[in-house]
């Protein structure tokens, strides 16, 4: 059975979506002389509503059309969340304090790091969304992250002093303004592989990153692999734990 998000996490999602919506310009899509346009609305100092028009086939028009699409998606997600937990969330918001703890896996890091930066060659024919991955297990994790609507970067380069490590996935948790690492250790029955895994986890721990808070480790062997449901539930469990840590009842 799949776990569900706790109310604390859903509330943080709702607040994050509302903040993102408030930060976007008010854009509406229309037509002008048979061409698609984006109209960007704003207020004059005297309070009058004005708008500027951008044709959709220009660079500015494409940008604002994208923002209009994002506004539509956010409003749909907000409505869905409010329908799901509206009354419970209202009560929780009135009786809680939100504290987002600092971490090196913060938003600043997310926006700086690239995607698929590991120079080590890949073998096999494992692809997801145009990215070549190293195993079927990693493709499965990526599919579940998509199902959970979580953004991720595959094998970005994390710098710890002189050491660079390439986590399998760096997952962005926008409502908590932080990230988490997911590692799939698919050959844990191989002695050298297990030794390399230990070194990697020791490096994480030495930089203050802890299992089941900052890092989710998923393990397999040559003949076994973690199930879809276990991957899904482990991700949801960590997000719930982080949310419960951030939202304290007054």
What pLDDT, on the 0 to 100 scale, is given for residue 191? 87
The CA dihedral of 160, 226, 116, 164, to the nearest 10 degrees, is 20
What pLDDT, on the 0 to 100 scale, is given for residue 90? 75
What pLDDT, on the 0 to 100 scale, is given for residue 87? 78
Share of the chain above pLDDT 70, in %: 100
Q: What is the average pLDDT across 111-140?
A: 93
In which band, very low, low, confident or very high, does the pLDDT at 195 lie, cut at 50, 70 and 90?
confident
Q: What is the average pLDDT across 227-247?
A: 95
In which band, very low, low, confident or very high, does the pLDDT at 123 lie, cut at 50, 70 and 90?
confident
Long-range CB contacts (within 8 A, 24+) of 10-15:
10/81, 10/84, 10/85, 10/89, 11/85, 11/89, 11/92, 11/93, 11/96, 11/247, 12/98, 12/175, 12/176, 12/243, 12/246, 12/247, 13/81, 13/175, 14/78, 14/81, 14/82, 14/89, 15/98, 15/175
């Amino acid at each position: 059975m799949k776990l569900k998000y706790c109310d604390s996490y859903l509330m943080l999602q709702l607040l994050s979506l509302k903040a993102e919506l408030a930060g976007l310009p008010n854009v509406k899509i229309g037509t002008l002389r048979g061409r698609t346009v984006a109209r960007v609305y704003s207020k004059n100092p005297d309070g009058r509503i004005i708008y500027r028009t951008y044709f959709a086939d220009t660079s500015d028009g494409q940008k604002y059309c994208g923002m209009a699409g994002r506004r539509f998606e956010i409003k749909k997600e907000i409505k869905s969340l409010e329908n799901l937990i509206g009354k419970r969330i209202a009560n929780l918001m009135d009786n809680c304090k939100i504290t987002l703890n600092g971490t090196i896996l913060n938003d600043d890091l997310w926006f700086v790091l690239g995607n698929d930066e590991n120079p080590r060659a890949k073998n096999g024919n494992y692809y997801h969304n145009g990215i070549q991955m190293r195993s079927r297990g990693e493709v499965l994790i990526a599919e579940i992250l998509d199902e959970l609507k979580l953004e991720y970067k595959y094998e970005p380069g994390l710098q710890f002093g002189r050491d660079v490590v390439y986590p399998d996935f760096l997952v962005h948790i926008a409502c908590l303004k932080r990230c988490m690492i997911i590692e799939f250790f698919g050959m844990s029955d191989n002695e050298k592989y297990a030794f390399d895994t230990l070194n990697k986890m020791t490096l994480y721990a030495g930089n203050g990153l802890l299992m089941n808070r900052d890092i989710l480790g998923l393990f397999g062997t040559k003949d076994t692999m973690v199930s879809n449901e276990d991957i899904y539930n482990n991700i949801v469990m960590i997000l719930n734990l982080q949310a419960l840590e951030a939202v304290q009842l007054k």
